[in-house]
């Protein structure tokens, strides 16, 4: 199929096909997708987070700059680029982040130590405030919840842009939201000024020898995509089957878990309750 001649109908077909075939069975990836897949969608469909890196294989400065340049071409709210990214390469700094993010189980995220690069994605209205001084205006958006939405969405888009760029060059990545567990330390250690906030981190490097991404099935499209109106039934219809698929997948990976159990483990309590105060301490208000 010539994708250059795609119509809206074909684009939707591509979307449906690309996403829903993941859930049928990871084994059918090759067979089902040949028709519409191009190198970009193939890469996106077969990706998975990497948590074991080749610590001895550095990422060259040229490659890193190339990926970062591709990343910042992502869209941002009003073109304001409400973000900064800190590239952490110093082993001692990475070790600190590893320690800060240590869960109660004591099983730390060793990939933070291993990966040659750890990126910290920061929502940044400090630079916006500086730019506004040119116009003698005062920043006030940071007194509204909207600032958090603008900054977080901008950062989220960057994260995916970097992920796609990095994976296309054979690198592996894993996003690390756990840095919000240690926001205060990150702010202090990396000298984050007022009106900035660390949103997520990302370990980046070449996968360790023999490590390939594992494709984790997503919900079928009918559990996620709604046409013309929200319809909760779509999700209810597929929940049991998806839960079973995930239960079997976790079992194959040696973990006794289901998707609903995972969600319950994470979401049946408030998370990082001190964030509100740290956020306010950075000069933001809701
Ligand atoms: C915002 C965000 C935060 C995440 N935080 C962590 C984290 O702290 N530690 C971790 O091991 N994985 C983390 N992940 C990775 C997810 O667990 C992973 O993307 C998800 O389980 C799906 O697996 P896949 O990426 O291999 O398809 C995070 C992902 C996102 C998008």
Q: For residue range 29-39, what is the model confidence (pLDDT) as tens digits?
A: 556 667 788 99
CB of 176 within 6 A of ligand 1: the answer is yes
* pLDDT for the residue numbered 37: 86
Q: What's the DSSP call for residue 268?
A: S
Q: Which of 1-5, 55-59, 90-94, 151-155 has the lowest mean pLDDT?
A: 1-5
| Residue 18 predicted with pLDDT over 90 | no
* pLDDT for the residue numbered 29: 53
- The CATH superfamily of 61-211 is NADH Oxidase (3.40.109.10)
CB of 128 within 6 A of ligand 1: the answer is no
Domain boundaries for CATH 3.40.109.10 within the chain: 61-211
What distance lies between CA 15 and its chain's CA centroid? 20
CB of 178 within 6 A of ligand 1: the answer is yes
Is the Cβ–Cβ distance between 161 and 73 less than 8 Å?
Answer: yes
Burial of 35 from C-beta contacts in 10 A (0-12 / 13-18 / 19+) = exposed
Is the Cβ–Cβ distance between 83 and 122 less than 8 Å?
Answer: yes
Percent of the chain, pLDDT > 70? 88
- What is d(CA 189, CA 92) in angstroms, rounded to the nearest whole number? 11
| Residue 12 predicted with pLDDT over 70 | no
CB of 49 within 6 A of ligand 1: the answer is yes
Pocket test for ligand 1, best of 109, 175, 218, 272 (most atoms within 8 A of CB): 175
Q: What is the pTM of this model?
A: 0.91
- Backbone φ and ψ of 3, nearest 5°: -70, -20
Q: Token match 């001649």: residue?
A: 5
187-208 in b/e burial notation, b at 16+ Cβ within 10 A?
bebbebbebbbbbbbbbbbbbb
CB of 50 within 6 A of ligand 1: the answer is no
């Amino acid at each position: 199929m010539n994708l250059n001649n795609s119509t809206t109908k074909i684009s939707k077909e591509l979307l449906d096909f690309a996403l829903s075939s993941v859930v049928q069975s990871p084994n059918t990836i090759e067979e089902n997708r040949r028709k519409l897949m191009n190198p970009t969608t193939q890469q996106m469909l077969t990706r998975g987070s990497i948590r074991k890196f080749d610590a001895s294989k550095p990422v060259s400065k040229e490659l890193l700059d190339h990926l970062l340049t591709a990343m910042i071409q992502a869209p941002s709210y009003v073109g304001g680029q409400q973000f900064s990214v800190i590239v952490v390469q110093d082993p001692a700094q990475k070790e600190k982040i590893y320690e800060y993010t240590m869960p109660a189980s004591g099983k730390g995220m060793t990939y933070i130590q291993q990966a040659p690069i750890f990126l910290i994605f920061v929502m940044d209205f400090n630079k916006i405030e500086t730019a506004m001084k040119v116009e003698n205006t005062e920043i006030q958006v940071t007194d509204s919840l909207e600032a958090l939405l603008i900054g977080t969405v901008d950062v989220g888009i960057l994260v995916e842009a970097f992920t796609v760029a990095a994976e296309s060059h054979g690198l592996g990545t894993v996003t690390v939201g756990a840095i919000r567990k240690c926001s205060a330390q990150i702010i202090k250690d990396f000298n984050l000024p007022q009106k900035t906030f660390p949103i997520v981190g990302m370990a980046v490097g070449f996968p360790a020898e023999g490590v390939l991404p594992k494709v984790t099935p997503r919900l079928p499209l009918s559990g996620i995509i709604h046409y013309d109106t929200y319809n909760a039934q779509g999700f209810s219809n597929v929940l049991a089957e998806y839960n079973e698929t995930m239960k079997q997948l976790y079992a194959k990976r040696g973990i006794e878990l289901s998707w609903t159990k995972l969600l319950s483990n994470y979401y049946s309590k408030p998370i990082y309750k001190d964030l509100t105060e740290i956020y306010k301490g950075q000069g933001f208000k809701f």
